Amino acid sequence: MVRPVMAKPKSAITPTRSENFPEWYQQVVRAADLAENSETRGCMVIKPWGFAIWEAIQRDLDNRFKATGHQNAYFPLLIPLSYLEKEAEHAEGFATECAVVTHHRLEAEKDENGKTRMIPSGKLNEPYVIRPTSETIIGNAFSRWVESYRDLPLLINQWANVMRWEMRPRLFLRTAEFLWQEGHTAHETKEEALEETHMIHQLYADALRDLLAIPVVMGEKTEAERFPGADATLTVEAMVQDRKAIQAGTSHYLGQNFAKAQEITFVDRDNKEQHVHTTSWGVSTRLVGTLIMAHSDDDGLVLPPRVAPQQIVIVPVTPKEDTRDAVIDACQALATRLREQTYGGEPLRVHVDDRDLGGGVKKWEWVKKGVPLRVEIGPRDLEERKVCLQRRDQAANEKSFIEKEEFLREVVETLDNVHQSLLQRALDFRDENITECSDLETFEKYWEEENPGWLVTPWAGSREQEEELSKKHKITIRCLPLDKQAGPEADCILTGSATSSRAIWGRSY
């Protein structure tokens, strides 16, 4: 390795994170060309670079699900209203977010100005709800598929879109329509269903760490924050750079609630009829927003290598026309050799940017798009058999000149170093912004700041007390962290009762 070359950094994104974090986020999405708002209210168009990130997440998770015995299926987008009415608590929890289809055709009609209007006609006998989640319609299918204990466990996942009428949309984080996976399983016993719930919970935490370089806190939701109709909800909570929380994935033990509503029964080993125990779990395109907020900087998107659409971009530097062909040929040859290597079980994704554009324009485009490694090769580099290497986890103008063969030998390790660097940075930031608190006065004062971070407190309060504190300070209990539930007893900050339970409080997206 030869001398690193340093230059004064500049910010490519305005405003910066410290100036206006929400607007910075929007500008990063725009600069990286990830998505745009649609003419359909609250919905988004996911552009190729953004969709490629989602596809990488999808591939990884799909492999993990299949490795644990789950199979993919697909269920209808439209759910009969009567299905939701069977599970009142569940339906009530989503009622204000439901979009409802009431007619099945359009008829053309002229208005007073002679303009053609399309008028809904053919009213449906029963309205359909555009799926906000699929427990009810999948439960109905399960009731047909399950007869005996020999049919269990039933382990199903679907990749789909859902709609929840969002009042304050934000690209990727909250949109009326979004993409996700939703797993649904049926089990013979409560113990097996709980084992499934915890297994998926750990799978999500592992995937966020290994794929997105995002450390999470694993915990259980309180009754107030639990999924409607569930007996228990497990969550993985991520902290992003403005110190807010994002619920990055959830796994629910549904008990026999949906089984009873949908009549999912089986004949057990003693020849008696029983209701199954069910689970559901999911993550969505919200993970892309979480990724942006967790890692990106004031120059644009920063991508962990496993989800980068292009992991390495090679930029030919051709100041003279007579060297152009030789430099581009060398770049293509290097790309071919790189593609022979694998990272994360897949061939390296390498792109040669030989467009007829200035080098500075190309550089900043790939910086903003978050490409983990950028490589420049010019005539002098050809002579010296070197490459100019730039890493996205470092300052945009930081460069290292390295022997080409050394780069080829070390490229996979370098990509892994980028991942580990981002993971450690996010872990350090999170831990620095989680504070222990043991008294109500300190608790109350803490929330005077706009986004101070997370507080961990002893907690034994009621649902009503939790909701009162949450409303007063515009916070929620993000979870009861699993690694802190067997700690020493302490006095609850509100009731004074001795408890071994801890709660993490924070503001969230």
Q: Which residue has the tokens 């125990």?
A: 277
List, in order, residues 6 or more apart from 481 with CB less than 8 Å away. Answer: 217, 218, 219, 456, 502, 504
**What is the average pLDDT across 406-411?**
98
pLDDT for residue 10 is more than 90? no
Spatial CA neighbour of 258 closest among 138, 127, 103, 346: 138
pLDDT for residue 2 is more than 60? no
**What is the average pLDDT across 74-79?**
98
Q: What single-letter amino acid sits at 263? A: E
Angstrom distance (rounded) from CA 487 to CA 36: 46
Residue 296 is predicted with a pLDDT of 98
Q: What percent of the chain has pLDDT over 70?
A: 98
Dihedral angle sign, alpha carbons of residues 501, 502, 507, 509 = negative
**What is the average pLDDT across 338-342?**
98
pLDDT band at 494 (very low <50, low <70, confident <90, very high): very high
Q: Which of 107-121, 147-161, 264-278, 303-317 has the lowest mean pLDDT?
A: 107-121
* Domain ranges across the chain: 4-14+301-430, 21-76+138-295, 434-506
Apex CA 206: angle with CA 203 and CA 208, to 5°? 110
Residue 112 is predicted with a pLDDT of 86
pLDDT for residue 236 is more than 60? yes
List, in order, residues 6 or more apart from 475 with CB less than 8 Å away. Answer: 447, 469, 505, 506, 507
Q: If you write DSSP's letter for every residue of 241-270 in order, what string do you get? A: TTS-EEEEEEEEEEETHHHHHHT-EEE-TT
Paired strand residues for 391: 373
Any idea of the CA torsion for 101, 106, 111, 114, to the nearest 10 degrees? 140
Residue 226 is predicted with a pLDDT of 96
Three state DSSP letters for 218-239: EEECCHHHCCCCCCEEEEEEEE
How far from the centroid of its chain's Cα atoms is residue 345's Cα?
21
Question: Strands 35-37 and 44-46, how do they pair?
Answer: antiparallel
- State whether CATH 3.40.50.300 applies to domain 4-14+301-430: no
**Residue 309: cis peptide before it, omega within 30 degrees of 0:** no
**What is the average pLDDT across 462-478?**
97
Q: Longest Cα pair distance anywhere in the chain, in angstroms?
A: 84
Residue 8 is predicted with a pLDDT of 39
CATH number listed for the domain at residues 434-506? 3.30.110.30
- State whether CATH 3.30.930.10 applies to domain 21-76+138-295: yes
Angstrom distance (rounded) from CA 429 to CA 63: 30
pLDDT for residue 1 is more than 70? no
Helices (H), 324-457: 324-339, 359-369, 379-384, 404-432, 440-446
- The H or E element that residue 434 is part of is strand 434-436
pLDDT for residue 6 is more than 50? no
Paired strand residues for 347: 342
DSSP 47: P
pLDDT for residue 7 is more than 90? no
Spatial CA neighbour of 506 closest among 442, 446, 426, 427: 446
422: its two tokens: 């981002």
Q: What percent of the chain has pLDDT over 90?
A: 90
pTM, rounded to two decimals: 0.95
Angstrom distance (rounded) from CA 267 to CA 433: 52
Residue 314 is predicted with a pLDDT of 98
Dihedral angle sign, alpha carbons of residues 434, 438, 444, 446 = negative
180: its two tokens: 């996700």
Residue 438 is predicted with a pLDDT of 96
Residue 330 is predicted with a pLDDT of 97
pLDDT for residue 5 is more than 60? no
Residue 73 is predicted with a pLDDT of 98
pLDDT for residue 91 is more than 90? no
pLDDT digit string (tens) for 344-371? 999 999 999 999 998 899 999 999 999 9
**What is the average pLDDT across 477-505?**
92
pLDDT for residue 342 is more than 90? yes
Q: Which residue has the higher pLDDT, 5 or 315?
A: 315
pLDDT band at 90 (very low <50, low <70, confident <90, very high): confident
**What is the average pLDDT across 265-287?**
98
Residue 486 is predicted with a pLDDT of 66
pLDDT for residue 181 is more than 90? yes
Apex CA 38: angle with CA 34 and CA 43, to 5°? 90
Average per-residue pLDDT for the chain: 95
